[in-house]
Structure 1
Amino acid sequence: MILQNITFEQDQGIEAHDLFYRGNAVCDKRNKTLYFRKGQEELFNTFFNSLSVKTWKKECGINHVFMKIRGSGKFIVRFGLQKAYKPILWLGDHQVSLEADEACIDMPFWEDLEQGLVFVGVTAISDGEISGGGFFTNEPTRRDIKLGLVITHFNRKKYVIPAVHRICQDVLNDTRYSNIYLVVVDNSKNLTRHELESNDKVYLIPNTNVGGSGGFARGLLYLKDNGFSHCLFMDDDASCHEESIKRTYAYWSYVVDDRSMGISGILFDENFPVTVLEAGGRWSERGWFGVFQKKNAGSIDDLTVMDSLGYSANYGAWCFFSFAVKSISHYPFPFFVRGDDILFSLQNNLKIITLLGVSTWVDSFSNKESVFTQYLSARSQLIISIYAKRASARSWFRLFVSQNRGCVGSYNYALSYATYKAYQDILCKTNLFTEDMTGEKFRGELQDIPAFDHVIPFTEFPQKMLKKRFWMSPMRKISLNCVLLPRFLLGSRAFVKKWQPLTWKLTCFYRDCYCYNNDAGVMTCFRHNKIEIIKSFFRNFCMGLRIFMKFRCCNKKYETQLERLTTENFWRRYFEKNDR
């Protein structure tokens, strides 16, 4: 069976050459072929084309590996071993001729390896091309896999339809992966079977819009009812390389123990395609953060560090997340969106792992920042803290003050009001999540929050960016985040990029903060407003009283709901009622 294919860049408009190979050979992305001139050398010690000893030998117990290469021409193929911050150790070389058939090269050194990344370096003896191949094993698989890909869709036809076609062409139609199927849960109920690929391995399920939580719960129920062994949650635009799906399938086939384990795809920033947003995430009572955030996966040093260190994530984002169906005892909590993936991993006690070559590209999280996401994130953080036994009146109050300060300090007052409403709803509403499963009520209420920002077009982004000065920290504390400073002492304008979080500790020294949105070609202006800043202090005081008065009752209520609302029966009853 094939473990890893030689992987080429996709023709998707994402330039990430260093994730695939290093050299000057010309890549035809459409035909997935590398063209060589005589004497050219290409190294494959990259994110997609390195073979991890930890993954395939230690975790999967594979003791015999060999390589196949397809193409034309004559090449010298060298095997190398790359370890963190160490020079390449060359393990052997072979001369191959690809004129007649693919070359098969044994790797006897594999049995003696304990760690590191194995890769090949290819030098052309003549003009030629490489069009495929990969790392194989002849050892039998440990289990038969039936993998279901689940995509939740809502009014994004221009993304989901091409994604379905691409998955069918590159994965479902590949006879080597005959046990992979695709389930599209249509929360908007506007997709037709005619619009999707006419493939009997694609299933379309119309569904009530209960957000990502309900969409993925519906897909998971379908997989369980139809005998699937493993599940893979994916974004509706499926911005992953097809090799990520295939490699996930191979890993589940061989891993020694697939119980209580989740594969989290490494998330790359679409704006910086080799920069890691997270390799799995870690939740704490102060929030969540990405593991290996800002690592450069195109750097061999960062790559080997990511492979060699142990797994520290405790949740995986549903942009790309796979697990064994039998491992699931708790279904998604009906958050609608935001936080459902975190609680899902925590409640099912999944060990989160990441694999080289298993990833997806996503929009930067800060680009998705809005009143709605702020509200949903704030309330999910509170519920997760209750489950994790990290909740207390004092911790909730500190968290509220911290969130409110960040919003107000960056002049995004609407987000401050959204945070306040999230806490108010959690503390005061009895059946918050079951009475508004579709989100119609909270969306209507959030629309009443006034907009304090305004959008302006621009032609060129200023080169002068914010800089931290030594005097800013003491001045900020003395002046209560610049509230006591008259406007004429504040700077005129600060500029930040949209995909970077607004740095409130710097922006509070300016009258206006302009935030650049790369995709829309506009700037959003947030303005210093002393009245709103003073109001935020009052909200801190009021919310503090409310938290300390109502926390104990609230905590007890949601401890009960956390179990009841994540059962399989809860979701089955809900869908049966709404499908009538």
Structure 2
Amino acid sequence: MSGDQQGWTQLQRVILPPEGQVDTIPLYVDAGTVNGVRLIEDDAVYRAAKLPEDKLRFMSSTPRQAHFEDLLSRTSMKVRSGDRMSFGTYFNAFPASYWRRWTTVRDIRLTVSTQGEGAVVVYKSNARGSLQRVASERVSGSTVSNFELSLKPFGDGGWYWFDLVAGGEDLILTEAQWLSNAERRIEGGGSITLEITTMNKPDYCLNNAKILADNLDVLDCVKEFVIVDQGNQKVLDYPGFKEVAERFNGRLRIIEQANLGGSGGFSRGMYEALENESDYALLLDDDVVIEPDSITRLAVFADYCRKPTIAGGHMFDLYNRTVLHTFGEIVDAHRIQPALPHQDMELRHDFAVVNLRQTPWTHRRTDVDYNGWWMCLIPTAVIREIGLSMPLFLKWDDAEYGLRAKEAGFATVSLPGAAVWHVSWADKDDLVGWQAYFHERNRAITALLHSPFPKGGRVQRESLQQDVKHLIAMQYFTERGRIMAMEDLLQGPEELHRLLAERLPQINALRAEYPDAQVKEDFDDFPHPRISKGPHPSANAGIPAKKDLIPWALKTVVRQLVRKPDPSSEEYPQTVLAHKDNRWWRTAGYDSIIVTNAEGTGASWYRRDPAKLRAMMAQSTRLHAQIYREWESLAARYQAAVPQITSYQAWRETFEKHTVSRDEAQP
């Protein structure tokens, strides 16, 4: 099946993990046991590869393994005699259904270059995860195998991939590519401004700069690489960074500005892409490790989309790199909360345990409302029409933008095979502490802008319930931020740009007033726990049953308001709770406890304070009632303000005010 490749464009190439990332092999080629959906009964394939009969029997009974030393380069690997290796993996299977749904491509070509004796076997799947053998070719010597493949059967889901079977000698994969001869929407390929927003993570920035500098071939489409530095630990001053920066030959620029949060940093990336007339802005988080081929995959996919389309990458766990944390997200319109697009999807799936071919839900095409800005490619045509990010500092900026784009007719696609490794939410608890302000305010703003339900559906009811939970759990600093969020929400959208640089320092200044906000590294920095006359809940206490929840909550609130804490609780905690046990139904039963944080880096002392509970409960109730009464007028104000506050001009004024010179930037 040889043929001339002239006139064909590479959509995706087969890649292998970089040196030193042995733990990621299952994402590239089936490492460990490779008996997932291997068709053992298809002995004809093995016989075509001229396998000795004893090896044929051996392969049918004993799984073989991929070896790290057999990875020869980023595009080449050795398959040992008698082995069968599958490229039906996250990074190397071709996500046919996504190309079928969103692009003009209808036919593709798989080209596999090999050296040695064996066979190439092509497979496909459907949306139910059923697997079908498509074609096979025996290879010998130096061979280029071409397979012409149609995308027409992939309406709801499915992938293409291939396996290599080595015969009596080793089989070398030289390279493999998925190609198309369809016309691009952007002829010759669009240009990208690649932007990283960072806040005191210069080590991550240096690492990603090194990765990109070592893979300059994936930056052919990148017009400019911009790092927006919003911290006081400057990237440009970090040891070794200037040497790496020189490898970009003038395409890397660092902008230093005040801390305007993620929305301020990423809007700066959008702004710079408009300024230099790029076709796309590619937004990247700082605390990630990037798979560099993801850049070209997103860019080429977006080029072939029938109309301007936001294309984003998935998120793997930085500390457990075969675990897929986010495959796609929607917004539950009734609750304005992130949700999984379909019920059988797993939130955290480990491809080292169960491979792609054995995981039916990954074969169904997943349509989304938005993509997280850990890696997201946004066409500047979209930015020109709907504006830049809402000035939300952080939380909900990416989801709100996706919803706004969707309402304007622009889809978002979370593209399999494009991804970063990022610290997963499992290692964070950002609903407690200073970020609670942004969760509360920005969720409500998103509801005001996009909820189709009266009064925002369940948003306000759940918000009040959350306030009760924080208060009975003695998280007074968290609740202070949530009250401040509601007060700012009622001020209206006109204040959002002003608050970008002001609100976080003001929230942090309140820490001194709240013991639950003060973190100490050593348990010895706290008094040793002692038994007191106060309550001691059972260590096995669980969440109250749904039918008992409201009576239990009322009883708990009344008890905390009326019953004075044991006097000794001011001097000594009653116990220490691990973070996983820090649940409102547990902590509500104590007067004084030490609680560790999600990161495991320290602990705080929670102490019950009836006066704070009484005052904050009253404030929360009053503010929720006011927001409920004014919901329609607030929604009208916020919706009317969006075009202005997300405009190029509004953000330009904010950037001019908060961009700093090198002298001003020094800590």
Please state whether the residue corresponding to 1:61 is helix, strand or coil: coil
Distance 1:131 1:443, change over 3 A: farther
Preserved contact between residue 94 and residue 159 of structure 2 (Cα < 8 Å): yes
Q: Does 1:543 align with 2:605?
A: no
Q: 1:245 to 1:549 in 2, by over 3 A?
A: same
In the alignment, does 2:370 pair up with 1:315? Answer: yes
Question: Counterpart amino acid of 1:420?
Answer: I
Partner of 1:26: 67
Checking the alignment, whether the CA contact within 8 Å between 1:283 and 1:315 is kept in structure 2 is no
Measured against aligned partners, the alpha-carbon deviations of 1:38-81 in whole angstroms (never above 9, x if no partner) come to 21222222221111221234432334433334565433211112
CA apart distance, 1:569: 1.5
Query: What letter matches 1:39 in structure 2?
Result: G
**Preserved CA contact (<8 Å) 1:264 1:354:** yes
Give the aligned partner of residue 419 of structure 1: 482
The one of 516, 522, 535 equivalent to 1:452 is 516
Please state whether the residue corresponding to 2:514 is helix, strand or coil: coil
Structure 1 residues 394 and 287: CA distance shift in structure 2, 3 A: closer
In the alignment, is the contact (CA less than 8 A) between 1:50 and 1:356 conserved in 2? no
Q: Which residue of 2 aligns with 1:2?
A: 10
Matched residue type, 2:228: V
Quick one: structure 1 residues 108 and 15, their matched pair in 2 at CA, closer, same or farther if it must change by over 3 Å? same
Going from structure 1 to structure 2, the CA distance change for 1:18 and 1:183 (only over 3 Å counts) comes to: same
Name which of 417, 423, 428 aligns with 1:357.
417
Q: Distance in 2 between matches of 1:392 and 1:303?
A: 40
Unpaired segments ≥5 residues, structure 2:
1-8, 35-64, 524-537, 567-573, 661-667
Change in CA separation of 1:251 and 1:471 when aligned onto 2, cut-off 3 Å: closer
Q: In the superposition, relative to structure 1, how do residues 344 and 503 fare at CA in structure 2: closer, same or farther (>3 Å)?
A: same
**Residue 223 in structure 1 maps to residue 280 in structure 2:** no
Report the CA distance between 1:423 and its aligned residue: 0.9
Question: For each residue in 1:158-215, what CA deviation from the matched residue of structure 2 results, as whole angstroms up to 9, or x when unmatched?
Answer: 1112212211322x3458x345642222234834383552113323333343222222
Output aligned runs, 1:86-105, within 5 Å: 86-97=129-140, 100=142, 103-105=143-145
Report the residue type matching 1:66 in the other structure: R
1:108 maps to 148
Structure 1 contact 213–333 (Cα < 8 Å) conserved: yes
* In structure 2, distance between residues paired with 1:444 and 1:521: 18
- One-letter code aligned to 2:23: E
Amino acid at match of 1:322: L
Measure, in 1, the Cα distance between the counterparts of 2:335 and 2:627: 17
CA shift at 1:408, angstroms? 3.5
Partners of 2:105 and 2:629 in 1: CA distance? 58
- Is 2:324 the counterpart of 1:269? no
User: Deviations 1:524-544 (Å, cap 9, x if unpaired)?
Assistant: 665666665555543433334
- Aligned residue in 1 for 2:552: 479
Pair 385,85 (structure 1): closer, same or farther in 2 beyond 3 Å = closer
Query: What do the CA deviations read for 1:506-555 (whole angstroms, capped 9, x no partner)?
Result: 65467787766675455666566666555554343333454356656655
Task: Tell me how far apart the structure 1 counterparts of residues 632 and 99 of structure 2 sit (CA, whole Å).
Answer: 48
Post-superposition offset of 1:157 = 1.0
What is the aligned counterpart of 2:436 among 371, 374, 379?
374
Matches within 5 A, 1:114-133: 114=154, 115-125=157-167, 126-130=169-173, 132-133=175-176
1:7-18 alignment to 2 at 5 Å?
7-10=15-18, 15-18=23-26
Between the aligned partners of 1:302 and 1:505, the Cα distance in structure 2 is: 39
Amino acid at match of 1:105: S
The answer to whether the Cα contact below 8 Å between 1:66 and 1:105 also exists between their aligned partners in 2 is no
Determine helix, strand or coil for the equivalent of 1:275: strand
- Rounded to whole Å, the distance in 1 between the matches of 2:20 and 2:612 is 44
2:125 counterpart residue number: 82
Q: Counterpart in 2 of 1:211?
A: 261
Q: Is the 8 A contact 2:288 2:422 kept in 1?
A: no
Could you report, residue by residue, the CA deviation over 1:453-491 in whole angstroms, capped at 9, with x for unpaired residues?
655669xxxxxx987869755565443274549999xx9
Give the Cα separation in 2 of the matches to 1:275 and 1:530: 44
Change (3 A) 1:457 1:130: farther
Which runs of 5 or more structure 1 residues have no equivalent in the other structure? 459-464
TM-score by length of 1: 0.83
Cα 1:446–1:340 change in 2 (3 A) is farther
Q: Is the alpha carbon distance of 1:113 and 1:104 closer, same or farther for their aligned partners in structure 2, counting shifts above 3 Å? A: farther
Where 2:124 maps in the other structure, the secondary structure is strand
- The alignment covers a number of residue pairs equal to 561
Task: Decide whether the 8 Å contact of 2:269 with 2:281 is kept in 1.
Answer: no
Shift of 1:430: 8.1
1:571 corresponds to which residue?
651
Distance across 2 between alignment mates of 1:154 and 1:12: 27
Contact persistence 1:385–1:391 (CA under 8 A) = no
Larger helix percent: 2
For residues 295 and 182 of structure 1, what CA distance do their matches in structure 2 show? 31
Task: Determine the structure 1 residue equivalent to 2:401.
Answer: 344
Q: Is the 8 A contact 2:208 2:290 kept in 1?
A: no
8 Å CA contact 2:190–2:221 kept in 1: the answer is no
The 8 Å contact of residues 496 and 513 in structure 1, kept in 2 or not, is answered as no
1:438 CA displacement: 1.4
- 1:341 counterpart letter in structure 2: D
Q: How does 1:432-443 map to 2 (within 5 A)?
A: 432-439=495-502, 441-443=505-507
Deviation, structure 1 residue 220: 1.6
Q: State the partner residue of 1:462.
A: none
1:145 Cα deviation from its structure 2 partner: 1.2
**Aligned AA (2:176):** G
Counterpart residue type for residue 426 of structure 1: L
Rounded Cα–Cα distance in structure 1 between residues aligned with 2:421 and 2:583: 25
**SS of aligned partner of 1:289:** strand
For the structure 1 residues 81 and 411, does the alpha-carbon distance in structure 2 shift closer, same or farther, using more than 3 Å as the test?
farther
For the 8 Å contact 1:476–1:482, the answer to whether it is kept is no
1:305 aligns with 2:361: yes
Q: Structure 2 vs 1, CA of residues 66 and 576 (structure 1 numbering), >3 Å: closer, same or farther?
A: same
Q: Establish whether residue 286 from structure 1 lines up as the match of residue 335 from structure 2.
A: yes
**What SS is found at the alignment partner of 1:279?**
coil
Distance 1:45 1:468 in 2: 45
2:349 match: secondary structure: coil
| Partners of 2:633 and 2:347 in 1: CA distance | 41
How many Å apart are 1:433 and its aligned residue?
1.8
In structure 2, C-alpha distance between the alignment counterparts of 1:239 and 1:153, rounded to whole Å: 13
Cα 1:86/1:573, change in 2 over 3 Å: closer
CA distance in structure 1 between the partners assigned to 2:465 and 2:516 by the alignment: 20
Q: How far has the Cα of 1:242 moved from its partner? A: 1.3
**Mapped contact 2:448–2:456 kept (Cα < 8 A):** no
Question: Equivalent residue of 1:316, what SS?
Answer: coil
Equivalent pair of 2:98/2:365 in contact (CA under 8 Å): no
Q: Quick one: distance in 1 between partners of 2:245 and 2:316?
A: 28
Tell me how large the CA RMSD over aligned residues is.
3.8
Whole-angstrom CA distance in 2 between matches of 1:10 and 1:515: 40
Deviation, 1:363, is 1.8
1:247, distance to aligned residue in structure 2 (A): 1.0
Deviations 1:363-392 (A, max 9, x none): 233615152211112111122222125573
Q: Distance in 2 between matches of 1:394 and 1:134?
A: 48
Shift of 1:322: 1.2
Do 1:214 and 1:334's aligned partners in 2 also have CA atoms closer than 8 Å?
yes
**2:447–2:459 contact (8 Å) kept in structure 1:** no
Partner-residue secondary structure (3-state), 2:652 = helix
